[in-house]
Amino acid sequence: MSIIIPANSAVGGGYAVDNSCRFDGTAAYLNRTQGTSTNLTKFAWSGWIKRSKLGADQTVTMNYASASNYGYFYFRSGDDIRIFDRGAGGDTVAISDMLFRDTSAWYHIALIIDTTQATDTNRLKLYVNGILQGLNGVTYPVENAALGWKVANTSNTFLMKTNSADGYVGGYLAEVAYVDGTANAITDFGEFDEDSEIWKPIDVSGLTFGNEGYYLDFKDSANLGNDVTGGTDFTENSLAAIDQTQDTCTNNFCTMNSLDAYWSASTFEDGNCTIIMPETTNETYTRATMGVNSGKWYWEALCTVQNSTMNAGIVDSPAIATNTELGKRPKGLSWNDSGSLNGNDTQVFNSTQAPAYSTSQIISFAMDLDNNFLYLRLAGSYTNSGNPESGASGTGGAAIPTNPSSGFYFPAFGDSSTSGGRYQVNFGNSPFAISSGNTDGNDRGNFEYTVPSGYLALCTKNLSEANS
């Protein structure tokens, strides 16, 4: 089996990260009050981040005591990282050489500062995926200077925003560790896989975190701010249990591809699981981040803003003419919310076989690329008397065109009107509330309805195992 998955994707084997926290980029963040630091000169911050929002200043973490004592690092609008600290020794500034523009990949970011080092380049280090990064415009900390980041008792710690009402990060955060008072080696937070040479996490729970250190593993959906070290928990802001996901640095889940929206660009929310179609022009659609050419795959969606010209289905992967709506593609199928399934501008199923769906109904797709059939489900019942477990007979399924130009099919969603619309898409990391909680046969994902036997969620562990 061949698959298309993002660069720097999660790898299997070894230590597994079970959960992440999803941040909407508009209101969600974590915060707590900092107490007395172990010392004022050393720390290490480590976290895994999957971005969903680009092109804006977004603060990963900030410690703020006053206008003269604070420190933070953030993604700038140009998608590099800026590090800043204002403390007793003056301002520390550094900007990464690297840009962070892959919204489908997990990045491990580690910031390690130790002002006691005699050599200035050893006082501030930024690592990405285990690699020490080059820095621009650097003003290193003064030797032995007290950091503004660590001023005791009066600081507030923020994750995924600034101290004011801005700088919100859109994306996912996992395995966040802050070590207070120690400038750890990068190997305390990860290791290179022996086979793939991809950087992967290790268990950090045994580290000595210091007085104000913390470790967030996001395993408790009822308390996403839980500090596993036993320290002060973070307060949740605009976060709920649904924001705990299985999309992690060791099992990367499919999302919609915000860099792959055609004709008139859509906007995205909920970690790129919600698509907002524009009201400015016709024929817009976007594909998911993962494509496959064999196997059996399952996902769900909820059309929350409807205009009678919404389309959901599958499409092949080559470059797509910007004036071609999803249902007119020669290699693909599109379920219209007003009823019917279309492909290559031809009706494949009529409105009885593929009925209309409303904003209150979850639609589901079961894609069998071993036998080339697509099955549709509306509010828990398969349409056209479909049976996704029927194999080569394809009972009630729509025939998928064979031999797509690239050999791959992607989930896709679109709109062919100027009215706008919205889909929430669940590849197992649902942005909408799940009442029942079903997993696939590998116990992965979180779905509203039962996943048919043999069908899997689109995530790197399933893709890797299917390809082995």
Tens of pLDDT, residues 106-135: 999 999 999 999 999 999 999 999 999 999
Q: Please, are residues 333 and 306 in contact by the beta-carbon 8 Å criterion? A: no
Residue ranges of the chain with pLDDT lower than 50? Answer: 1-8, 319
Of 245, 276, 303, which marks where a domain is finished?
245
**What confidence score (pLDDT) does residue 35 get?**
87
In a domain, 232, yes or no: yes
DSSP codes, 385-406: G--TT-GGG-TTPEEPPSS-SS
DSSP codes, 300-344: EEEEEE--S-EEEEEEE-S---TT--GGG-SSEEEEETTS-EEET
In a domain, 349, yes or no: yes
**Both 240 and 268 in a single domain?**
no
Sign of the four-CA dihedral 228, 233, 236, 241: positive
**What confidence score (pLDDT) does residue 336 get?**
92
In a domain, 117, yes or no: yes
Q: Please, are residues 162 and 100 in contact by the beta-carbon 8 Å criterion? A: no
pLDDT tens sequence across 231-276 = 999 999 999 999 999 999 999 999 999 887 665 577 899 999 999 8
Residue 210's SS3 state is coil
**Both 237 and 260 in a single domain?**
no
CATH number of the domain that residue 96 is part of: 2.60.120.200
Give CA 444 to chain center in angstroms: 16
**Both 375 and 260 in a single domain?**
yes
Selection from 63, 61, 67 nearest residue 82 by Cα: 61
Residue 265's SS3 state is coil
Q: How far apart are CA 270 and CA 242, in angstroms?
A: 10
Of 220, 245, 270, which marks where a domain is finished?
245
**What confidence score (pLDDT) does residue 289 get?**
93
Following CA atoms 51, 52, 55, 56 in sequence, which dihedral angle do they give, to the nearest 10 degrees? -80
Selection from 220, 208, 169 nearest residue 30 by Cα: 169
Which range of residues forms the domain containing residue 210? Answer: 18-245
In a domain, 380, yes or no: yes
Of 245, 269, 297, which marks where a domain is finished?
245
Where does residue 205 rank: exposed (0-12), middle (13-18), buried (19+ CB within 10 A)? exposed
**Both 264 and 189 in a single domain?**
no
In a domain, 454, yes or no: yes
Q: Which residues contact 84 (CB under 8 A, 6 or more apart)?
A: 71, 72, 73, 91, 92, 93
**Both 322 and 190 in a single domain?**
no
**Both 218 and 361 in a single domain?**
no
**Both 190 and 115 in a single domain?**
yes
In a domain, 64, yes or no: yes
Q: Which residues contact 283 (CB under 8 A, 6 or more apart)?
A: 262, 263, 264, 322, 323, 324, 325, 414, 415, 416
CATH number of the domain that residue 428 is part of: 2.60.120.920
Following CA atoms 200, 187, 159, 59 in sequence, which dihedral angle do they give, to the nearest 10 degrees? -90
DSSP codes, 31-76: EEE----S-SSEEEEEEEEEE---SS-EEEEEEEEETTEEEEEEE-
Sign of the four-CA dihedral 243, 249, 252, 258: positive
Number of domains the chain is built from = 2
Q: How far apart are CA 193 and CA 15, in angstroms?
A: 11
**Both 217 and 324 in a single domain?**
no
Q: How far apart are CA 304 and CA 415, in angstroms?
A: 13
**What confidence score (pLDDT) does residue 414 get?**
85
In a domain, 293, yes or no: yes
Structure tokens at 159: 């994750």
**Both 321 and 270 in a single domain?**
yes
Q: How far apart are CA 463 and CA 87, in angstroms?
A: 48
**Both 176 and 289 in a single domain?**
no
In a domain, 283, yes or no: yes
**Both 441 and 301 in a single domain?**
yes
Q: How far apart are CA 199 and CA 99, in angstroms?
A: 18
**Both 78 and 169 in a single domain?**
yes
